[in-house]
Amino acid sequence: MATRTLTDLHVGAGRPLRWPTYLAISADVLVTRPGDITKDGMNALIMLRDERLFDAEVSTFYGDNLHSGVYSFSHAMLGTNPRHVFLPGEGNYRLIPEDVDGCEPLLCALPWRGPVLNGIGVVKGIDRVAAIVTISGRSYHGDCMGWIPFTVRGSLRSREDNPFPISLIPPRGTLVTFDALMDGLDVDGVVHGTLYRLHYLRHAHSRHLEELDMADVAAEWAQAQRMVHSGNATDGSGSQDVMAAPNTSWSPNASDTQVTGTVGVQSSYTNTRRMAEDLTRFHTQVFAVLRAAARTIKNEQDVEAAVKEALSTMQERVNQELIEAEARMLVEVANIESRVVQEVARTRSQLQAHLRLSTQDLLRTVSGTRHGLCTDLQESAMSLQTVGTALHRNLTAMQDEQVARLERIIYTATFSGPTGSTAIAASPLVQTPARPPPPQYDATPYAAAGSIAQGRMEDGEIEDDASSEEGDVDVGDNEAV
């Protein structure tokens, strides 16, 4: 009789599919709303390590209602699609007293514990470049919810003390047990975490792989099994799980216990030969599995070496492009600097030329203005000298005319009688005044006076003075006469 494993019991014919997988969470949970009498569960908030919150529905195995408050959950089943937390028993949760639950800021509180994950799942995907392992499976959440799927994306490079070499990650389609720190939960139901334990268990069953959309892995494993067995049937199905333990148990038949002598020896020899054949078959299977694993590891190592070589080539190319870009940038900076210097020099020369032209224009303007002022001053001086000469001539003519008039008056008085001649002779008017020499004018200080005198002559003021003097003389003559 062949030995049946736990996986065979889960996927037996005529039974609903069961899973040897689970995902458990241990964290501090804040229950926000008590549940009803029915199995609707309670809503709760779970805080991550970065103080982000995500909500989930909580239910218990016995349908117990949890009061509002802060609870400490230990190994509670977690499902991600939908979000659900299942408490198998009373030992999986504990109410934290209100005095230390952190709701009152003035009171002492216990430090908040971030969520920790542990469980068993199937390796669904491996990203060896980013060192991320995707683990999927189902968790049992009671008869009401049934089996709820979960997906965990665990990172191996988020820890400095990472003990897991990338080349030793179990291949796809294998059952593993793991522990991780929960970092987040997507809206798609994918849990992100940091793995700090990952242990290989065995290969997953083909039905589990098909349920996880991994039919290609199941087909490859079935083909490997057929190659190992090479037609040897161990049960009615014609196939045997190569990872199962060999049939080394033996119990003697009743006929074997009743015979003696040669028959007993022959029966013992036959049983021993059967055990040897079973051991040989098991060793052959183990060696085949080891060879397949070695080929897989070799292929994975080749892939890893190719990836490393591609990464190194890409890194060298990126470094070369960065160096070329830096050189081009330096050349562009030098060109821009030279253009800026040229523009500054050209602008400076243009400014100097404009300044020189402006200075020359200003000097020419000042020189022209000075020359004009000198010319105007000379013309004003000449005009003043001309006016002074004309004024002297007019004064001389007026004086000559007055002298002639006085002579006529004296002459008339002389020949008019003795009395008059004596009076006239004794008069001081009879004396002929000496003619003064013409004045010499300096045109420079009297330029303004000449302009004023010329203006007065044009206005007729000098003629009025001459006429007034002539009137005075006439009056004097009349008085003298």
Sequential DSSP letters for 103-153: -STTS--PPPPPPEEEEEEEEEEEETTTTEEEEEEEEE-HHHH-EEEEEEE
- Residue 263 is predicted with a pLDDT of 33
Task: Give the domain-ending residue among 205, 228, 245.
Answer: 245
Q: Which residues pair with 77 in a beta bridge?
A: 24, 86
What are the C-alpha distances in Å from 73 to residues 4, 79, 132, 445? 35, 15, 27, 120
133-187 pLDDT, tens per residue?
Answer: 999 999 998 888 889 999 999 888 655 555 556 667 788 888 999 999 998 888 8
- What is the H or E stretch that residue 87 is in? strand 83-87
Q: Is residue 16 part of a domain?
A: yes
Q: Is residue 40 part of a domain?
A: yes
Q: Is residue 356 part of a domain?
A: no
- SS3 of 461, please? helix
CA angle 51, 103, 190 (to 5 degrees): 30
pLDDT at residue 36 above 70? Answer: no
Rounded distance between C-alpha atoms, residue 464 and residue 456, angstroms? 10
pLDDT band, very low/low/confident/very high, at 89 (cuts 50, 70, 90): confident
Average pLDDT over residues 263-288: 58
Ranges of H-type helices in 233-261: 254-258
- SS3 of 356, please? helix
pLDDT band, very low/low/confident/very high, at 256 (cuts 50, 70, 90): very low
Total domains, the chain: 2
Q: Which residues pair with 53 in a beta bridge?
A: 47
- Residue 209 is predicted with a pLDDT of 85
- Residue 352 is predicted with a pLDDT of 92
Could you give the percent of the chain with pLDDT greater than 70? 63
- The predicted model scores a pTM of 0.45
Return the C-alpha torsion angle 175, 179, 180, 185, nearest 10. 60
Q: Is residue 306 part of a domain?
A: no
- Residue 47 is predicted with a pLDDT of 80
Count of positions (residues) in the chain: 481
Task: Give the domain-ending residue among 245, 275, 298.
Answer: 245
Report CA torsion sign: 260, 262, 265, 270.
negative
Q: Which two tokens stand for residue 87?
A: 């408490």
Task: Give the domain-ending residue among 188, 216, 245.
Answer: 245
Rounded distance between C-alpha atoms, residue 222 and residue 240, angstroms? 10
Quick one: how far is CA 364 from the chain centroid?
Answer: 62
Report CA torsion sign: 297, 159, 157, 218.
positive
Give the domain range for residue 153. Answer: 6-245
Q: Is residue 36 part of a domain?
A: yes
Q: Is residue 280 part of a domain?
A: no
Query: What separation, in Å, do the N-terminal and C-terminal C-alpha atoms of the chain show?
Result: 192
pLDDT at residue 463 above 50? Answer: no
More confident residue, 351 or 221: 351
CB count, 10 Å around CB of 298?
10
